[in-house]
Amino acid sequence: MDVRFDPSGPLKGRLTPPADKSISHRAAMVGAMASEPVVVTNYLAAEDTLSTLEAMRTLGTIVQRDGDRVVLRGVGMRTPDAHGETIDVGNAGTLMRLLPGWLAGQDGRSFRFDGDASIRRRPVDRIAEPLRLMGANIEATDGRLPPFTVHGTQLRGITYELPVASAQVKSCVLLAGMLADGGTTVVEPVASRDHTERLLSRLGVPLWRDGDRITVGHVDELTVEDIHVPGDVSSAAFPIVAGVLVRGSRLLIEGVNVNWTRTGILDVLQRMGAVVVGERERRQDGVVPGEEPVADLDVAHGPLKATTVEAEEVPLVIDELPLVALLGCFAEGETVVRGAEELKHKESDRIATVVNGLRGLGAEIEATDDGFVVQGGTGIRGGTIEAHGDHRLAMLGAVAGLASREGVTVVGMEAAEVSYPGFGDHVARLQRR
């Protein structure tokens, strides 16, 4: 589906972003592990998270959904069984990389994973390595790609040093650690999003942090409280950046999760001189809080200056780096992103697709081995951008069109439904105010 986004007048009004995708995935999984029914409110009803609910059904969980309210009657920690069915993850990379952690501890049972064409290009070797060290057997296509099969065993606890900071790999190992003999420790090179740790800690799982080390203990049974999912800051980032770039705009973004491991984009915007005001959670080292903090953010247009995003900051802004590239087009000076090799393993190779896409719209941007460099100050001319099935690239093109001089046509705009259902309607509503 091709959608045209013309240069916009001021964006005005209030907006509540979709529910957090990362937390929705995790809520469904722990609900399936629970020994009693679990109610999840404000669950994200998008393609990726609906794939997770369907995967839980495949494993034997009874799932009842009424809008954004989901009731899960799970199978318990140790009795999921797909009965020979393939677990279809669709386009959901988080599901593909987290769920094997739980299933690797199901001794004597095997689970086959597959997904769409995009998923079949996304490697799983980084979860396969620690799971094999814990005793599981992972058989992957060409040794590293889907479809793949997880053969569950009695797992043993390990200490695993992540070669690259990744919340998905960390979470996979922590979920496996709950079923392993002895404690399991993950060592992070730098901090990454901590939704799994917060959720498990809130549910009473033995879990503690010591500097860059997170350790989880063995769990026989999981009792889960009802879970409310806050608004997704990664989705909110698109209207936030639109409000920053489109002259005369003033927005209030309500109910946003401001967990410090997710608000790297707000730090970048602050450095660039953008006006985004709201209460923020401070960095918390050595603490595993149970609750996700929520705040309202006040956004206004303003002039921007260039910045540099270094490798240690990348995990806290990984999903918003395409927007950093767009912001760099409008900022005075040279904007640089380093240490972002992880972008190559998203729904598309986001270094290549973002650089090529924005260059096609008139940006002065060059790819590097681990990021990109943007020469700013000229903004965006306009043109056509291909989404490549990547929801964030589709929404990037839409925001670029609103701030451009000539407008942008997004080819494949339907990809936005993966994480932000109704994105186009939200944009239109802000334009009508």
Question: Are 222 and 281 within one domain?
Answer: no
Active-site residue, selected from the candidate residues 319, 349, 369, 370: 319
- pLDDT (0 to 100) of residue 118: 87
* 8 A C-beta contact, residue 229 and residue 22: no
- pLDDT (0 to 100) of residue 107: 97
pLDDT (tens place) for every residue of the chain, 433 residues total: 899 999 999 999 999 999 999 999 999 999 999 999 999 999 999 999 999 999 999 999 999 999 999 999 999 999 999 999 999 999 999 999 999 999 999 999 999 999 999 899 999 999 999 999 999 999 999 999 999 999 999 999 999 999 988 999 999 999 999 999 999 999 999 999 999 999 999 999 999 999 999 999 999 999 888 999 999 999 999 999 999 999 999 999 999 999 999 999 999 999 999 989 998 888 877 667 778 999 999 999 989 999 999 999 998 998 999 999 999 999 999 999 998 887 766 666 888 899 999 999 999 999 998 899 999 999 999 999 999 999 999 999 999 999 999 999 999 999 999 899 999 999 999 997 6
Q: What is the CATH number of the domain that holds 291?
A: 3.65.10.10
Question: Are 148 and 236 within one domain?
Answer: no
- HEC string of the chain equals CEEEECCCCCCEEEECCCECHHHHHHHHHHHHHCCCCEEEECCCCCHHHHHHHHHHHHCCCEEEEECCEEEEECCCCCCCCCCCCEEECCCCHHHHHHHHHHHCCCCCCEEEEECCCCHHHCCCHHHHHHHHHCCCEEEEECCCEEEEEEECCCCECCEEECCCCCHHHHHHHHHHHCCCECCEEEECCCCCCCHHHHHHHHCCCCEEEECCEEEECCCCCCCCCCEECCECHHHHHHHHHHHHHCCCCEEEEEEEECCCCCCHHHHHHHHHCCEEECCCCCCCCCCCCCCCCEEEEEEECCCCECCEECHHHHHHCHHHHHHHHHHHHHCECEEEECCCHHHHHCCCCHHHHHHHHHHHCCCEEEEECCEEEEECCCCCCCEEEECCCCHHHHHHHHHHHHHCCCCEEEECHHHHHHCCCCHHHHHHHHHHC
Question: Are 275 and 418 within one domain?
Answer: yes
Domain boundary among the residues 211, 228, 245 is at: 228
Question: Are 131 and 267 within one domain?
Answer: no
Domain boundary among the residues 183, 207, 228 is at: 228
Question: Are 416 and 363 within one domain?
Answer: yes
- pLDDT (0 to 100) of residue 348: 66
Question: Are 204 and 153 within one domain?
Answer: yes
Domain boundary among the residues 212, 228, 244 is at: 228
Question: Are 15 and 117 within one domain?
Answer: no
- pLDDT (0 to 100) of residue 300: 95
Indicate if 369 belongs to the active site. Answer: no
Q: CA angle, 34 as apex, 30 and 35 as ends, to 5°?
A: 180
For residue 281, what are the domain limits? 2-19+231-432
Number of domains in the chain: 2
Question: Are 221 and 336 within one domain?
Answer: no
Q: What is the pTM of this model?
A: 0.92
- pLDDT (0 to 100) of residue 343: 74
What does the alpha-carbon distance between residue 267 and residue 372 come to, in Å, rounded to a whole number? 19
- pLDDT (0 to 100) of residue 279: 87
Question: Are 210 and 239 within one domain?
Answer: no
Question: Are 156 and 288 within one domain?
Answer: no
